[in-house]
Amino acid sequence: MVALSQGEAMSVIATGEGWVFCDNHQFFLTPQLWWPREFVPEGPNRLVTGAGGSARISTGIATGGVAVVAELHDSPPELATGAWEDVGEASVGVSRDALYVMSADASSREAFPNLAALGAETLRVRVHAIGRMVHYDGSRHRSEEKYLIQVWPAALAEDTCLKLNAQMRAGLTAPTGPTPALPPPPVLPPRSPRPQSYPG
């Protein structure tokens, strides 16, 4: 559902929320109304990656539904990490005055506003996430993962990590302890000698 805010004192211009279907550990903010075909590599902050006129949001589950709230602001919102586990920022260059939360099955189109509606040429995207490690690399119809996406007009800047939980920071493939030693090979019983001749 998309809601519009009234009054110049409000930083939030429009907001929407809904379930977004992700695939390959990702969903997107895109100017087009279809799912990008290519896999976008995860960026250094491990959460949101600017990719030209789009942004990739990295999810914990490989495929399934995540809960998303998206907000369009007219100025930078106050940073409040709170209980969020991961927070990152990236920049997006706007094309066609359009930027939408895009689900892998394109079902999210009506739930979210046009995040480029203010007409700015470049936008800053801040993504907050929680629950990405609960079912990492799994598949859930509706997972425990939650995301808050905030977008506002701003000049291009480097991707930034503002908060990252310990498991993500250590690396998902990093060993959790010393590698255990291999067990010694089993001791086999001695073989019986082969007969030199066989009875005829």
The ranges assigned to domains in the chain are 13-170
Q: What is the mean pLDDT of residues 126-140?
A: 94
* pLDDT of residue 170 exceeding 80: no
List pLDDT tens digits, range 83-107: 999 999 999 999 778 999 988 877 7
The answer to whether 11 touches 72, Cβ cutoff 8 Å, is no
Place of tokens 């390959």: 24
Fold adopted by 13-170: Substrate Binding Domain Of DNAk; Chain A, domain 1 (2.60.34)
The answer to whether 129 touches 35, Cβ cutoff 8 Å, is no
CA distance 175 to 181: 14
* pLDDT of residue 77 exceeding 80: yes
Q: What is the mean pLDDT of the chain?
A: 81
What's the Cα-to-Cα distance from 95 to each of 53, 76, 77, 151, rounded to whole Å?
6, 21, 23, 15
The answer to whether 15 touches 3, Cβ cutoff 8 Å, is yes
* pLDDT of residue 2 exceeding 50: no
The answer to whether 73 touches 115, Cβ cutoff 8 Å, is no
Q: What is the mean pLDDT of residues 170-198?
A: 51
* pLDDT of residue 148 exceeding 90: yes
Confidence at residue 180, expressed as pLDDT on a 0 to 100 scale: 40
